Amino acid sequence: MCKRLMVCMIVLLLVGTSFAGGPIGPFDASRGVGLEELGIYAGGVVESSPGVFDVTGGGGDIWDNYDQFMYVYKNVTGSMRMTANYEWINKGTIGGNDWAKMGTMLRLSTDPRDVHISSMERQVEDFIGCQYRGSYNGGSGGWGDIWAAMPKPIGLGVQRIQYGPLNFIEPIYNRGSGWQSFGGTVVSGMPDTVLMGAAVTSHRDGWRWDTATVRVTDVVFEDPIQYLVQVDNPDGTCPRVPGFRINALKVSSFISDPGGMGWGYNAMNELLDTGMWLGLEGEEQGTRDELFVNLRDSGGNGAFGNDQSVPGIDDFEQPAGDPSNGDDDNYYAVEALACIQLTAGLHMIGVSSDDGTIIEIGGVEIGRAPEWKGDSMVDFLFNVKTAGLYSFRARMLEGGGGSALELSEVLIDGTRVLLGDVEHGGSPVYIPEPATVALLGLGGLALLRRRR
């Protein structure tokens, strides 16, 4: 009887336990988001040594329209960046779950249904990415990348940059060679003061007392923010003919399983730079000049209703260029070249693509979306130090499934326009001269034969 009574007392204590802590280190408070409301044990935060914080959290997930996790956070105002290093200490006391997560989160409040944008690592330690909920009680989304073949990320962060009336939220990560961006997103209607902090969930909805513990170190809150991407030294030389030169090239049909042969960004660059991949010539080369980049082979329609076919890819389909009639090619690369006239200061370019896209301006990579993703918008914010004409290159990777590429620009007043839409306030974009095209790596493609 005594043993049974003791067990009951322990259970009652656990059921009645929640955790809402006060200031600790650089943080203002901690809370079991979505757990205390249900009377579920949330976990806690301990400063195990100066500057070292062990964060223990339970909960079902950070996903869908309701989150459950442990959060230690600071109230921040205006533009701000938080970065920290993370290490799993205990991934679950009852075996853990592959989708347990940890990382740095910006959140509007501790309401479990509220807006957030987070830089996260998954428990199985092969996946990092951005997760977000863009509206109250809305669904969740995100994008990410597998890092199993790359150095393990040691740092995860998130930063908010106020861009006119907009808030540009940028999840970032560090694999040991400096902070890099996942690509960001614009959030409208965000209050001036938000929360930034460290989050952990054990992803064990059916095991309410199974918690995971993460060690958080090197926590830094930084203001003013140092922009990750700086563009300088204008290098563009173009006739003043508005538009882009768009080229597409498909993997040789002799490669039966391109995905199994390592098709990805590195292969895309090799194919576009040399016209060959794995020793075989690319097929279906097509080149076309367009005023805007608004391409679609199949799948999503972007923000502006993609209405251009992909040059050289659809020519052999019946009927040509008609996604609704089974026109769906896979394993090819698209390149859009131009010169872009930029003023000094902050600029934002958006990419809606399926799969990933890399953008370079003046020879500087301003951002890359994850290699493998569905059609979704990723924005890249960069600072131009010197006004002038810059070379521009966007390269899109197509694997399987849908395929689309749309390039846009977000103006300082929040308006999104197609890149090059000068009539509506966009930056001027010009078709490059042949010498510039050759310099950027397309010179060899003129020797290719179209064949199938």
Q: Are 290 and 308 in contact (CB under 8 A)?
A: yes
Q: Are 251 and 286 in contact (CB under 8 A)?
A: no
Compute how many other C-beta atoms are within 10 angstroms of the C-beta atom of residue 7.
10
User: In the prediction, which pLDDT does 224 show?
Assistant: 64
The rounded radius of gyration (Å) of the Cα atoms in the chain is 24
User: In the prediction, which pLDDT does 103 show?
Assistant: 95
What whole-number distance in Å separates Cα of residue 296 and Cα of residue 298? 6
Q: Closest Cα partner for 66 from 171, 136, 159?
A: 136
Q: Which of the residues in the chain have pLDDT under 70? A: 1-20, 37-42, 92-96, 123-126, 144-153, 205-209, 224, 314-328, 435-452
Helix (H, G, I), strand (E, B) or coil at 18: coil
Q: In which region does residue 415 sit, left (phi positive, over 0), alpha (psi from -120 to 50) or beta (all else)?
A: beta
User: In the prediction, which pLDDT does 444 show?
Assistant: 38
User: In the prediction, which pLDDT does 321 show?
Assistant: 47
pTM of the model: 0.75
Q: Is 13 exposed, middle or buried (0-12, 13-18, 19+ CB in 10 A)?
A: exposed
Compute how many other C-beta atoms are within 10 angstroms of the C-beta atom of residue 176.
9
Q: Are 121 and 153 in contact (CB under 8 A)?
A: yes
What is the dihedral angle through the alpha carbons of 217, 229, 349, 196, rounded to the nearest 10 degrees? 20
What whole-number distance in Å separates Cα of residue 394 and Cα of residue 359? 4
Q: Which residue ranges form the domains of the chain, and what is each CATH number?
A: 2-224 (2.60.120.200), 244-447 (2.60.120)
What whole-number distance in Å separates Cα of residue 150 and Cα of residue 188? 34
pLDDT digits 0-9 by tens, 36-74: 766 666 678 999 999 999 999 888 889 999 999 999 999
Helix (H, G, I), strand (E, B) or coil at 117: strand
Q: Is 156 exposed, middle or buried (0-12, 13-18, 19+ CB in 10 A)?
A: buried
Q: Closest Cα partner for 62 from 94, 102, 18?
A: 102
User: In the prediction, which pLDDT does 229 show?
Assistant: 87
What whole-number distance in Å separates Cα of residue 408 and Cα of residue 295? 12
Tokens of 105: 């989160």
User: In the prediction, which pLDDT does 437 show?
Assistant: 55
Bridge-based pairing state of the strands 403-410 and 294-298: antiparallel
User: In the prediction, which pLDDT does 35 show?
Assistant: 81
Residues in the chain, overall count: 452
